[in-house]
Chain A
Amino acid sequence: MSDYLWNKTGEVDSEIERLEEALRPLRYQPQVLELPAHAKPERPRTTFYFPLVAAAILAIIALAGMWARLIHTDSHKNQPQAVGNLPSPDVRAPQESNPNVQQATVTQTDAPIAPQNTNSSLYYYQQSKAARHASPRTHRESLALRVKNENRKQQTFVASDEQQARLREKREGELAKDRLMFALNITSRKLNIAQRKVAATTSHLPGVNEENR
């Protein structure tokens, strides 16, 4: 290729020169750039959005965590405590000077009663011992049977209450899980929307950061 076509040096190519001359009327005539007074470079939106999105995500996660923790705490407050820590049933002896075993009351609180409750056994043992000396044989037998039945009732009650507590805990756990999943779902959708908006603001620009054709 001639140097004239490349950089206008060397031997002049008459045809190229003729074309240049013919096309000269179309050449750019220097003009002053008229930028409106209010025109200014726009702020980069992507860098503006990212901290907001990140802060929103953190806030939502923190709220979801607090929510789940709150629900968990509430469920523990409402449900009976662990069996090992349960308060012993309030077993009170009748206040009469001559205690009557049949009048002994076992006050049951909302909490389940532990099986083989030592206080209860001790009380009935003491009562039966006292009655053995003061009562006829039939009464003693009746008392022993009564103690046995009472213990059986307590065990049945405790077992059913524990099951209910477990079921209740499981239900509340599932509910908390569902709520957390719902919150995460909302977060995910919001992130998608934000991402689409950011993509839309940059994609409509022609040739953004295009290197070479």
Chain B
Amino acid sequence: MTKLEAARSSLFLVVGRTQSPEESTATEISSDAPLVVAAQSGDREAFAQLHSSYAPIVHGVLLARAPRNEVDDLVQDVFLQAFRKLHTLRDANTFGAWLATIARNRAVDFHRRARADEELSEENAVRSADEAKAEEILGVIRRLPEAYRETLVLRLVEGLTGAEIAARTNLTPASVRVNLHRGMKLLREQLGGSGV
């Protein structure tokens, strides 16, 4: 048994209390702490696994804030920054929340540095009809309050379930449930009004 497997099994032994189905799903998903610990010691393979698990989350967080054509590059930036600064993460179980925060800050930083001509070039980009419609709906979602916006993008765009969102962003399942419910209600109202 490798160190990684031993650490993973010990992590499951620690979680012994009775859990709701939502919580147990969240616990199983968040068992990436051994990978995080391995990556902190410089294991690139472990970090690549973390990348494949958390890239949709980072993509969703950035998509809710930054221009679509910049998001892929920003995702790479976020993971590179995370790899370099991984030693500052003290609790490996909060990796998802930590990564999401880096992504949010990176989006803010992007807007701070972006110039007006870059915005125009995005507006003039050639897109298909499906993409145009998708971006129109995304524009409506982006106008929602931040808490609902991010959760809805992760659910509707990235296709994650509520439990997965809770586990990977370190939010409680109840918070995610509320955000989804209220966000969806607001989105329906906005879409009904805008005729999309």
Contacts and interface: CB of A to CB of B under 8 A. Distances in A.
Interface of A: 1, 5-8, 15-16, 19-20, 22-28, 30-31, 33-36, 39-44, 202, 205-213
Contact of A33 (B76, B159, B181): B76
Interface stretch (B9-17, B27-35, B53-61, B118-126): B53-61
B86 A26 contact: no
Contacts of A208: 85, 88-89, 98
Nearest to A19: B156
Contact of A1 (B51, B68, B102, B180): B180
Contacts of B7: none
B48 A33 contact: yes
A31 B177 CA distance: 30
A209 B184 contact: no
Interface of B: 39-42, 44, 47-48, 51-52, 55-56, 59-60, 63, 68, 72, 75-76, 79-80, 83-91, 94, 97-98, 100-102, 104-106, 128, 130-131, 133-135, 137-138, 155-159, 161-163, 169-172, 177, 180-181, 184, 187-188
Q: Which 6 A-B pairs have the closest CB atoms?
A: A207-B101, A206-B105, A28-B59, A33-B51, A7-B161, A6-B162
A42 B171 CA distance: 28
B156 A206 contact: no
A20 B137 CA distance: 10
Contacts of A31: 55, 72, 75-76
A43 B88 CA distance: 9
B162 A26 contact: no
Nearest to A210: B101
Given A28-B158, A33-B47, A210-B94, 14 more contacts: A20-B156, A23-B137, A26-B138, A28-B56, A31-B55, A33-B79, A39-B84, A42-B84, A208-B85, A209-B90, A209-B91, A209-B94, A209-B98, A213-B101
